[in-house]
């Protein structure tokens, strides 16, 4: 039994996505106290910006003619794929940055897709694997809010995780994390507190489900 956990926040202290991921992990660990947890923190140890281009170039280059950079990129893509394929359950904690997908997570996904096992249309190496995506937003982009539609990250991440890799995915979102940080949002303090509590309850529930779904498989 194992859990793979990926964090994409650029922070280690004070990260709300990391804190919410900790709630999921704590519930999973409570059910599997002796199980292995594999961690990768791409926010503080990012995927090299050139890796995707090198891996793509390598796919069109005979093995004997590949550069050292191309060889390294292919090997890194395989290592990342092995981590996902080898784990029983998956947890992704990815914040919303500037209304879009974290560059760290995008680089991670781009490189993974160069591995033949995780390319679109490839055999389903991850199909049905239980997973949780935790995402946090500084503002509130829910239906009916002034910035509805400004979250350009969550739908894309779901497309990759659910439709390309076919994970059995649950999504936990916490909004208004900048309330208390940005004075312009002080008027939303009560709502932010409610949304925080709801997100933490959902994270705990998702952690328990993650452990139970694997245990029942």
The CATH classification number of 2-216 equals 3.40.50.360
Amino acid 89: pLDDT: 97
pLDDT of the residue at 215: 52
Alpha carbons 167 and 77: distance in angstroms, whole number:
19
Let me know how long the chain is: 217
The strand pairing partners of 96, in sequence order, are 101
According to the model, what pLDDT value does residue 185 have? 87
CB distance 59 to 65 below 8 Å? no
Give average pLDDT by consecutive 10-residue segment, the chain, 217 residues. Answer: 96 93 98 96 96 98 98 98 97 96 97 96 92 95 90 96 97 93 89 94 97 69
Helix (H, G, I), strand (E, B) or coil at 209: helix
C-alpha 87/C-alpha 6 separation (Å) is: 12
pLDDT on residue 213: 83
Residue 208 and residue 48: Cα distance in Å, rounded?
34
Tokens of 142: 């829910």
Residue with tokens 């890796």: 51
Contact 131, 124 (CB under 8 A): no
Answer whether 17's CB lies under 8 Å from 51's CB.
Answer: no
């Amino acid at each position: 039994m194992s859990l793979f956990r990926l964090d994409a926040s650029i922070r280690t202290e004070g990260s709300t996505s990391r804190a919410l991921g900790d709630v999921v992990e704590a519930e999973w660990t409570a059910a599997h106290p002796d199980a292995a947890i594999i961690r990768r923190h791409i926010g503080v140890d990012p995927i090299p910006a050139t890796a995707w281009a090198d891996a793509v170039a390598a796919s069109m280059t005979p093995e004997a003619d590949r550069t050292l950079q191309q060889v390294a990129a292919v090997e890194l893509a395989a290592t990342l794929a092995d981590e996902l394929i080898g784990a029983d359950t998956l947890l992704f904690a990815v914040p919303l940055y500037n209304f879009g997908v974290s560059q760290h997570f995008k680089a991670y996904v781009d490189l993974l897709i160069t591995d033949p096992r995780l390319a679109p249309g490839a055999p389903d190496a991850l199909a049905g694997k239980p997973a949780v995506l935790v995402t946090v937003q500084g503002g509130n982009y829910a239906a009916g809010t002034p910035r509805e539609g400004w979250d350009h990250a969550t739908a894309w991440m779901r497309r990759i995780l659910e439709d390309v890799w076919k994970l059995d995915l649950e999504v936990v979102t916490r909004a208004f994390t900048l309330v208390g940080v940005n004075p312009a949002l002080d008027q939303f303090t009560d709502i932010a507190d409610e949304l925080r509590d709801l997100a933490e309850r959902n994270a705990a529930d998702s952690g328990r489900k993650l452990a139970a779904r694997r245990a029942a498989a």
